[in-house]
């Protein structure tokens, strides 16, 4: 079998411990044709040196001079992969995750069933509660200005075990075909952190690509760790970008932005649910 080439791209920003655990789990995956690109987004310590010492040629590491945010950091990694690794697919993966050994193969197996499948994502569980679902595909209500995770906070009893077309895939773990990037472009770096995953999912769907949730692929996520969150309360960083980016997204796709004012007591039910949900769960 000719396996499609996959470039796995993860971003490190002062998160050495999480990145090491993520990479150690990636070393156990069963899919044979992949390369790992680590983009260090201007970490303050010795992260780059220590990652090189520990993982050697297993990783391609890019050392940025500053924090370019998630979207542009991922773009830097994808540009590097395009120029040097010849991938058929790009797998964007948060560094605060651990993965099932078969997750890449499960995603690719579904991707190959239809050339119009452009973006796929796994079932994502809470790291600290490994049977509780955080993400089982994403839905969007354009009329009300709402986006939400299917299954969030529910114990996995098999109720989300079917491959499904969805409205978006979380940037926590997103497999994107080369054809999608050639058609719609890279992530929109305007967002800096968060919302770029909804945006590219929407752009892909509007260009005729399918966006699929693949439950047989599984990973576990330390919610909010990549943003510096350590407890239940979100960081100001998360709150700012969740609210800001929500306005940018809806305006860019032509949704009535008055729906977004409800969280401040100024308009209809709108997006308050999503903003509260995302703040509570640390975006991706």
Q: Mean pLDDT in the chain? A: 86
d(CA 100, CA 38): 19
Alpha carbon 102 to chain centroid, angstroms: 18
pLDDT digits (tens, 9 = 90+) for 111-128: 999 999 999 999 999 999
% of the chain at pLDDT higher than 90: 70
**pLDDT score at 279:** 41
DSSP 122: E
Structural domains of the chain in order of their starting residue, each with its CATH number: 6-281 (3.90.550.10)
pLDDT digits (tens, 9 = 90+) for 213-223: 999 999 999 98
Percent composition of the chain: helix, strand, coil (DSSP 3-state, to 5): 40, 25, 40
Q: How far apart are the first and last CA of the chain?
A: 34
To the nearest 10°, report the CA torsion of 73, 77, 83, 85: 180
pLDDT digits (tens, 9 = 90+) for 41-64: 999 999 999 999 999 999 999 999
The more confident residue out of 208 and 246 is 208
pLDDT digits (tens, 9 = 90+) for 173-211: 999 999 999 999 999 877 656 678 888 999 999 999 999
């Amino acid at each position: 079998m000719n396996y499609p080439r996959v470039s796995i791209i993860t971003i490190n920003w002062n998160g050495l411990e999480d990145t090491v655990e993520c990479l150690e789990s990636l070393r156990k995956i069963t899919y044979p044709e992949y390369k790992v690109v680590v983009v260090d987004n201007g970490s303050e310590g010795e992260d780059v040196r220590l990652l090189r010492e520990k993982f050697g040629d297993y990783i391609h590491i890019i050392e940025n001079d500053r924090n370019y945010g998630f979207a542009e950091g991922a773009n830097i990694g994808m540009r590097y992969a395009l120029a040097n690794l010849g991938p058929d697919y790009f797998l964007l993966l948060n560094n605060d995750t651990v993965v099932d050994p078969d997750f890449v193969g499960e995603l690719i197996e579904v991707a190959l069933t239809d050339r119009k499948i452009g973006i796929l994502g796994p079932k994502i569980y809470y790291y600290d509660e490994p049977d509780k679902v955080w993400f089982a595909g994403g839905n969007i209500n354009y009329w009300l200005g709402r986006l939400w995770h299917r299954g969030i906070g529910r114990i996995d009893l098999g109720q989300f075990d079917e491959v499904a077309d969805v409205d978006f895939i979380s940037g926590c773990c997103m497999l994107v075909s080369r054809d999608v990037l050639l058609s719609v472009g890279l992530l929109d770096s305007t967002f800096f952190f968060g919302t770029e995953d909804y945006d590219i999912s929407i752009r892909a769907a509007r260009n005729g690509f399918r966006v699929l949730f693949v439950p047989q692929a599984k990973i576990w996520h330390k919610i909010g760790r990549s943003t510096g969150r350590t407890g239940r309360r979100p960081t100001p960083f998360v709150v700012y970008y969740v609210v800001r980016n929500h306005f940018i997204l809806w305006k860019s796709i032509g949704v009535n932005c008055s729906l977004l004012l409800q969280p401040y007591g100024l308009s209809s039910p709108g997006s308050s649910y999503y903003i509260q949900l995302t703040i509570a769960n640390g975006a991706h």
